[in-house]
Structure 1
Amino acid sequence: MLDHAKRIKLENFADEIASEVPLTPAIYRAFAEIDREIFVPQGFRHWAYRLDALPIKADQWISSPLTVAKMTVYLEPEGADNVLEIGCGSGYQAAILSRLFRRVFTIERIDTLLKEAKARFKALDIHNIHTRLDDGQRGWRQYAPFDRILFSASTPAVPDTLFEQLADGGILVAPIEQGREQVITRFVKEGESVTSEPLESCLFVPVKDGIEQ
């Protein structure tokens, strides 16, 4: 349970995000309920409520709250049941999604990061996040199709296997590498057709192959 002071701090944090990114009431509540401080390394916790990306272990980063907000908004979670995240990292994005979807599936390729994320989910009493150590580019066929798929790392192209695991009418959001730039791109699947829409420039760590124990 959040104490009164922390609740006020998180509401102010959500207000600051909402001043930059138009949030639905449900997404606003998610940012006001999930304490970002838990997902930030000890030495950076005094910066947890700033709108900046911060370094975590294994040369990875926890995205800025604004980026997390934008990716969440672009997913259009309203009315969707489940979501697959490629790249769990600290677990913050998955925790936000847990307030918006009945089931969240998140894959991480770095074992130490996944173990820490799972511990955070347990500490926050979040029980609708399912985790897997794997190369996320393969997806999670056992639980497909997914209403939404989110890449939390940049990729030159979305693997066909992930479009195969996206439900008809589903949305996939990914930072796509275009030369030296990255562009958040939204894909919509309709039957056998997939349409894409570039949304805005971004900066994510690149997706990598394989698993790191």
Structure 2
Amino acid sequence: MQTRMAQQMCEEIQRIFPLSPKVREALIAVDREIFVPSALKHLAYSLDALPMVDSQWISSPLTVAKMSEYLAPNGGDSVLEVGCGSGYQAMIFSKMFRRVFSIERIGKLLNEAKERFRLLQAHNIFTKLADGQKGWEEYAPFDAILFSACAKSIPHTLVEQLSEGGVIVVPLLEGNKQVIKRFVKSRGQLDRGENLSECLFVDIQDGILQ
């Protein structure tokens, strides 16, 4: 049942946004119902963002698919996620990367996500309660870094923790819009970045939907 609903979700996404086999397989492999509030399980496979505790949201499967494709459709060794939230994006990454490091600043959210990872036996996801904008120095450098929340800028600390040739994908606030951008590190600095699409994310500082 779960697999069939996930397949239908991917077909719906595919009509809007092309999926690579790697990302499609990851989306089908993860039971999204586990990551949404029990009262909203009937909406788990819809392409909607859903509310969680503390004014936070679980991103739409379409957004998760986009972020996964933008970051590294062929996977890699290690990825750092800034903003664990429900844990759904990290779980998708666990099917694409050898190691996933996910940081969350809200304790209740992180504890719930860790319990989901335990139930799903996701042994390659490592979590930390902290300010994700400071990164996770002891496990750096990372092949890729994803912001799962909107930011006004990219902290230099995270640039330092990115591997040479590595990729950062981040929803940035530009004027009154949120734009998903992708940056590549070259010679110790990020390039000028590539605009990928507009979006709607929780603000990394205020925890409110923009």
TM norm structure 1: 0.94
State the distance in 1 between where 2:18 and 2:170 align: 19
Amino acid at match of 1:99: K
State the distance in 2 between where 1:77 and 1:17 align: 16
Note if 1:139 corresponds to 2:141. no
Note if 1:187 corresponds to 2:180. no
Note if 1:172 corresponds to 2:192. no
- CA deviations on 1:100-152 (whole Å, 9 max, x unpaired) are 00000000000000000000011111110000000000000000000000000
Provide structure 1 residue ranges, at least 5 long, that are not aligned to the other structure.
Answer: none
Which of 23, 37, 49 aligns to 2:19? It is 23
TM norm structure 2: 0.95
State the distance in 2 between where 1:126 and 1:29 align: 16
What residue is the counterpart of 2:4 in the other structure? 8
State the distance in 2 between where 1:198 and 1:6 align: 34
Deviation at 1:166, TM superposition (A): 0.4
Deviation at 1:6, TM superposition (A): 2.2
Structure 1 moving runs of 4+ over 2 Å: none
Deviation at 1:193, TM superposition (A): 2.9
What residue is the counterpart of 2:78 in the other structure? 82
Amino acid at match of 1:21: F
Matches for 1:1-213 after TM superposition, within 5 Å: 5-195=1-191, 196-208=193-205
Q: Is the 8 A contact 1:97 1:104 kept in 2?
A: yes
- CA deviations on 1:173-195 (whole Å, 9 max, x unpaired) are 00001121110010100112311
State the distance in 2 between where 1:79 and 1:113 align: 26
Deviation at 1:79, TM superposition (A): 4.9
Count of residue pairs brought into register by the alignment: 205
Identity of aligned residues (%): 55
Provide structure 2 residue ranges, at least 5 long, that are not aligned to the other structure.
Answer: none
